[in-house]
């Protein structure tokens, strides 16, 4: 989710039973509602907090900025150059690394254009190794006289 989408989440948007977050259309750039699946870790963190809130309260209780809290977390994690938006890029890259098709990654991120999603994917050492491994396999098949 984008920062603005997170700030606007209400507890009524959280469905622990199905493990889904509903991002309301009027809270997105594209004006399209979408669902984001929650990881087990996120459910574990949010569920206890939900017991003290009403359905109409904001999940994170933030209306404008997380700058101070985010900066403290960056310093504590020794990630001084990290920007909040970098987290979306990391998420997209990890999904692609885990073999999720780029078209599905785009839908998860709420993109309407494939070119937007492509800009989110960062090549890294694992990407370079995977490329070399694929070429090694291709070359082995060629050497063994097996052409596919």
DSSP for 25-72? GGGSSS---EEEEPPHHHHHHHHHHHTTS-TTSBSS--SS--HHHHHH
Is pLDDT at 49 greater than 90 in this prediction? Answer: yes
CB within 8 A of 103, min separation 6: which ones?
A: 114, 117
Q: What is the DSSP letter of 126?
A: H
In the three-class reduction of DSSP (H, G, I as helix; E, B as strand; rest coil), residue 77 is classed as: coil
pTM for the predicted model, two decimal places: 0.60
- Residue 112's nearest CA partner among 38, 36, 29 is 29
Dist CA 124 CA 7 (whole Å): 30
| Residue 146, pLDDT above cutoff 70 | no
- Stretch 46-70: mean pLDDT: 87
Query: What pLDDT does 147 receive?
Result: 56
Q: What is the mean pLDDT of the chain?
A: 85
Tell me the pLDDT tens digit for each residue of 72-117.
889 999 998 998 888 888 888 888 888 888 888 888 888 888 888 8
- Asked if pLDDT for residue 148 goes beyond 70, the answer is no
Which segment of 20-34, 35-49, 125-139 scores lowest on mean pLDDT? Answer: 125-139
Q: What is residue 80's three-state secondary structure?
A: coil
DSSP state of 147: -
Give the DSSP H or E segment for 15.
Answer: strand 14-15
Q: Which residue has the higher pLDDT, 77 or 138?
A: 77
Q: Is the pLDDT of residue 35 over 60?
A: yes
């Amino acid at each position: 989710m984008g920062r603005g989408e997170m700030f606007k989440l209400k507890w009524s948007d959280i469905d622990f039973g199905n493990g889904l977050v509903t991002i309301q259309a009027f809270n997105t750039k594209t004006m399209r509602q979408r669902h984001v699946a929650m990881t087990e870790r996120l459910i574990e963190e949010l569920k206890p907090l939900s017991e003290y809130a009403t359905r109409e309260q904001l999940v994170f209780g933030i209306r404008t900025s997380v700058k101070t809290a985010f900066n403290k977390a960056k310093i504590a994690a020794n990630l001084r150059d990290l920007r909040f938006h970098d987290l979306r890029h990391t998420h997209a890259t990890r999904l692609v690394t885990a073999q999720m098709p780029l078209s599905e990654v785009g839908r998860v991120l709420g993109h309407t254009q494939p070119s937007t999603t492509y800009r989110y994917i960062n090549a890294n050492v694992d990407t370079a190794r995977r490329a070399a491994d694929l070429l090694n396999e291709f070359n082995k098949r060629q050497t063994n006289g097996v052409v596919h």
